[in-house]
A = this chain, B = another copy of it.
Amino acid sequence: MPVVMNEDDLQGFLAREFPQTADDFVIEEVADMSIRVRLPVAERHLRPGGTVSGPSIFALADVSVYLALLAMIGPKALAVTTNCSIDFMRKPAAQTDLICICRLLKLGRVLAVGECLIFSEGTEAPVARASMTYSIPPER
C-alpha cells in the first residue's frame, strides 16, 4: 500500500488537530506500515531522577500508532484507541530523548493493530514495548 501522508503532512496534521501536544512529538520517518517518532525530552515529561514518566511513554506509543495509521488511510481524526497493552522493561536514561519504532501489524476495515518498541536514544535495549488497537469509524 502506498503511504498517503508523509512526515510533513503528519506533523502539520498534529499541529492543527492536537495543538496542546504537537510539540511533544517529532515525526522522523514514515514508510509502508511503519513510522519512527521522537519524544524530545522536556521538563514536563520527567519524574524525580530525571527519567521520562509512564504517561509520556504511553502517549508516545499511542501517537505513533495513530500516525502510522493516518499515513496509510489519510487524515481521519476520529480513529480512536480501544486497547493498549504496555510493558515497562527498563528505566529510561535520564535527560535523553525517547525514540519509538512502530509497525502496523494489521490494517483492517474497522480495526488496526500496531506494535511499538521504545528506546532511550543511543541505547540498544528497549525501555518499553506497547501494542495498540485503533477503531476506525465508518465513512459517512
A-to-B contact residues, CB < 8 Å: 17-18, 20-21, 44, 46-48, 53-56, 58-59, 62, 77, 80-91, 105-106, 110-111, 113, 115, 117, 125-126, 129, 131, 133, 135
A131/B129 in contact, CB under 8 A: yes
B84/A85 in contact, CB under 8 A: yes
A111/B84 in contact, CB under 8 A: no
Return the chain B residue nearest A110 by Cβ. Answer: B110
Q: Which residues of B contact A21 (CB under 8 A)?
A: 53
Q: A82-B87, A87-B131 are in contact. List 11 more A-B contacts (CB 8 A).
A: A20-B44, A54-B58, A54-B81, A58-B58, A85-B131, A87-B113, A89-B106, A89-B113, A105-B126, A106-B125, A106-B126
Q: Which residues of B contact A44 (CB under 8 A)?
A: 20
A131/B133 in contact, CB under 8 A: no
Query: What's the nearest-Cβ distance from chain B to residue A85, in Å?
Result: 4
Q: Which residues of B contact A53 (CB under 8 A)?
A: 21, 59
6 pairs, A vs B, C-beta closer than 8 Å: A20-B44, A54-B84, A55-B55, A55-B62, A113-B129, A129-B131
Q: Which residues of B contact A129 (CB under 8 A)?
A: 105, 113, 115, 131
B59/A54 in contact, CB under 8 A: yes
Q: Which residues of B contact A77 (CB under 8 A)?
A: 48
